[in-house]
Amino acid sequence: MKITITARELFDRGLWMDYCNLTGTNDWAIAEGLMSDDEELSLTHKQAKKLGLLALTPEEKWDLEERW
């Protein structure tokens, strides 16, 4: 499953830096004109859960805490 969200939505939710760290995206990409803020970005189910966009099961939450 793929989840689509715009860069602006990530920024507005305070998740832009987390997204950049997770995907290796330049955190200045929007400011430098490398991407527009309305660009649609695709996330895997796992990435969306790591960013808190989807609810985690208790087991998944424990697993993420161990990795981070």
Q: How far is CA 37 from CA 18, 32, 33, in A?
A: 16, 11, 9
Residue 44: give the domain boundaries. 2-67
Whether the per-residue pLDDT at 27 is higher than 90: the answer is yes
The CA distance from 38 to 45, in Å, is: 21
What is residue 55's predicted lDDT score, i.e. its pLDDT? 82
Structural Rg of the chain based on CA atoms = 13
pTM (2 decimals)? 0.78
When divided into structural domains, the chain yields a total of 1
Q: The tokens 């602006």 sit on which residue?
A: 8
Percent of the chain with pLDDT over 70: 87
The CA distance from 68 to 66, in Å, is: 6
Whether the per-residue pLDDT at 60 is higher than 90: the answer is no
